[in-house]
Amino acid sequence: MNHSHDLPHQEKPKPKPKPKPKAVIVGGSIAGVSCAHALIRVGWDVVVVEKSRKPPKGSPTGAGLGLDPLSQELIGTWTGRPELLHDITAPLTIDLNQAIDDEKTRKILARDENFNHSAAHWATLHDHLFSALPPEIFLWGHLFLSFSFSYDKQSVKIKAQVLDTGETTEVDGDMLVAADGCLSLIRNHFLPDVKLRYSGYCAWRGVFDFSGIEDSETIKKVRQAHPELGKCLYLDLAPGNHTVLFEIPNKRLNWIWYLNQPEPDLQGNSVTTKVRDDMIQKMYQDAEKIWHPALVQIMRETKEPFINAIYDCDPLERIVWDNVVLVGDAAHPTTPHSSRSTNMSILDAAVLGWCLEKWGSEYLTAALEEYQSIRLPVASKQVLHARRVGRIKQGLTLPDCEPFNPNTATPEECKMLPQSGLPFFGHNPLLGSSDLLLAGKR
């Protein structure tokens, strides 16, 4: 007699869920936290290894930056709080290049009223991105030492030193994302002969905090001399020099002065240098000979100005090896003249996320090859354009034109000055921004 119908109904065993793929991101700067957002959104587990002992929240270091419209939209989709980004940025709608002569008289060389960027402070933007991530994914105070592939190249293991204890620890993942900056050790592993290229000039820079002294003579005079502060990127050009001035939120002015000089002797793994008091005093005296007194006064009242040596790198031939991928300044160190460093980092992260989602983790090689094919040609052209613009603004030689003199420049010569001359300004070849934003919203 068959009693099989009396047996309890047996369910098919459920297939085991596939383990989530895991990425190890080396570097917790804006490129690193952007990648964390983009990868978590497309189903990856993420660990961020960062040598700083804590997030840079509230840090006065770092400087102002310009975010383009696509970066702003991407950040809004990652955090889900675009209104908060609006609160920590200020409009930069005008890009204004002016010549300044020996009499401190200014003449407009190029004015673009459709610049359409926003100004932010580096540390504030970092905090905005960091705060929207799960805090447990960060390994703070971990100094990256080295990495190795598994025998089948399917996984990667990184070694890091825990700075507080001196111990060495290991982290495994399916993919290594090198977001370790322009002096990237991971890039150096694959491309030991690639060196940063000194631009021929350095930048004095600082952030002037005028909170509580909004009615001071200094601020009155700087607003008189720069009536569109708060929405304008001001660039003053003198032979062999140029300055940048713009307002960032929380009552701060970001200023930069680029000046031609031999390559400085930098200590350690950094492109910034601490300055002595006598160097600062000389900077003030030199500034008085060239720049508008209102700007010089801002320089004088800025706490702890510092020197940034300006480097970039010839475009790389590749930014992907097996399951290792370069992003941000590790992939394309650039001079700052096209406001690209942060924007390129954010776009790298978005494109990487889009490619990983499109191909799935089982086709990781194809995903990373597509990421490289999209980002490498665009970033390479933008790096070379920023280099050229920097040399023009500094009056340095170029093979195809005479050194630029802002006081005698023709309208034709001034066409290179606005940032809108950047290749791919405002659009992204091979990938519509709507694709990236849809990927970001999932």
Q: Comparing 3-7, 12-16, 248-252, 422-426, which segment has the lowest mean pLDDT?
A: 3-7
69-79 vs 341-359: helix crossing angle, rounded to 10: 50
Check residue 7 and give its pLDDT. Answer: 47
Q: Comparing 92-101, 343-352, 420-429, which segment has the lowest mean pLDDT?
A: 420-429
pLDDT grade, residue 4 (50/70/90)? very low
Q: Quote the Cα angle for 101-104-107, to 5°.
A: 60
Q: Indicate if the pLDDT at residue 130 is higher than 70.
A: yes
Give the global pTM: 0.92
Find, among 63, 68, 115, 39, the residue nearest to 340 by Cα.
Answer: 68
In the chain, ranges of CATH 3.50.50.60 domains: 22-58+65-91+122-196+313-441
Check residue 433 and give its pLDDT. Answer: 62
Q: Indicate if the pLDDT at residue 13 is higher than 50.
A: yes
Q: Tokens 């383009």 belong to which residue?
A: 68
Which listed CATH number (3.30.420.40, 3.90.1300.10, 3.30.9.60, 3.10.310.30) goes with 197-312? 3.30.9.60
Q: pLDDT digit string (tens) for 407-416?
A: 999 999 999 9
DSSP one-letter code for 19: P
Contact of 404 with 388, CB cutoff 8 Å: no
* Segment 112-138 mean pLDDT: 95
* Segment 198-221 mean pLDDT: 94
pLDDT grade, residue 55 (50/70/90)? confident
Give phi and psi for 347, each to the nearest 5.
Answer: -70, -40
Q: Which residues pair with 117 in a beta bridge?
A: 92
Q: Indicate if the pLDDT at residue 431 is higher than 90.
A: no
Q: Indicate if the pLDDT at residue 15 is higher than 90.
A: no
Q: Comparing 46-60, 73-87, 375-389, which segment has the lowest mean pLDDT?
A: 46-60
Calpha distance 418→92 (Å, rounded): 13
Q: Which residues contact 236 (CB under 8 A, 6 or more apart)?
A: 98, 99, 100, 106, 242, 243, 245, 291, 292, 295
Calpha distance 401→410 (Å, rounded): 13
* Segment 269-285 mean pLDDT: 85
Q: Could you tell me the two tokens for 241?
A: 């020099």
Fold of 22-58+65-91+122-196+313-441: FAD/NAD(P)-binding domain (3.50.50)
* Segment 238-265 mean pLDDT: 93
Q: Which amino acid is at 91?
A: P
User: What is the enclosing helix (H) or strand (E) of 98?
Assistant: strand 94-100
Q: Could you tell me the two tokens for 281?
A: 């005093």
Q: Indicate if the pLDDT at residue 97 is higher than 90.
A: yes
Q: Comparing 62-66, 106-110, 250-254, 303-307, which segment has the lowest mean pLDDT?
A: 62-66
Contact of 368 with 323, CB cutoff 8 Å: yes
Mean residue pLDDT of the chain comes to: 91
Q: Comparing 20-24, 205-209, 399-403, 436-440, which segment has the lowest mean pLDDT?
A: 436-440
Q: Indicate if the pLDDT at residue 432 is higher than 50.
A: yes
Q: Which amino acid is at 425?
A: F
Q: Indicate if the pLDDT at residue 8 is higher than 60.
A: no
Q: Which amino acid is at 289?
A: K
- List Cβ<8 Å contacts ≥24 apart for 97-102: 97/235, 97/237, 97/414, 97/417, 97/418, 98/234, 98/235, 98/236, 98/237, 99/236, 99/237, 99/238, 99/406, 99/407, 99/409, 100/236, 100/237, 100/238, 100/290, 100/291, 100/292, 100/406, 101/238, 101/407
DSSP symbols for 143-203: EEEEEEE-TTSS-EEEEEEETTT--EEEEEESEEEE---TT-HHHHHH-TT---EEEEEEE
DSSP one-letter code for 421: G
In the chain, ranges of CATH 3.30.9.60 domains: 197-312
Contact of 248 with 117, CB cutoff 8 Å: no
Q: Tokens 């090896």 belong to which residue?
A: 321
Cα-based distances in Å from 72 to 75, 331, 342 = 5, 21, 11
Q: Indicate if the pLDDT at residue 387 is higher than 60.
A: yes
pLDDT grade, residue 272 (50/70/90)? confident
Report the percentage of the chain scoring pLDDT > 70.
91
Check residue 265 and give its pLDDT. Answer: 80
Q: Could you tell me the two tokens for 90?
A: 């200020």
Check residue 23 and give its pLDDT. Answer: 98
Q: Indicate if the pLDDT at residue 329 is higher than 60.
A: yes
3-state SS of 216-276 is CHHHHHHHHHCCCCCCEEEEEEECCEEEEEEEECCCEEEEEEEEECCCCCCCCCCCEECCC
Task: Specify the 3-state DSSP secondary structure of 71.
Answer: helix
Q: Quote the Cα angle for 89-90-91, to 5°.
A: 125
Q: pLDDT digit string (tens) for 308-325?
A: 999 999 999 999 999 999
Instruction: Region of 433 please: left (phi>0), alpha (psi -120 to 50) or beta.
Output: alpha
Check residue 60 and give its pLDDT. Answer: 61
Q: Indicate if the pLDDT at residue 228 is higher than 70.
A: yes
Count Cβ atoms below 10 Å from residue 40 Cβ, excluding itself: 18
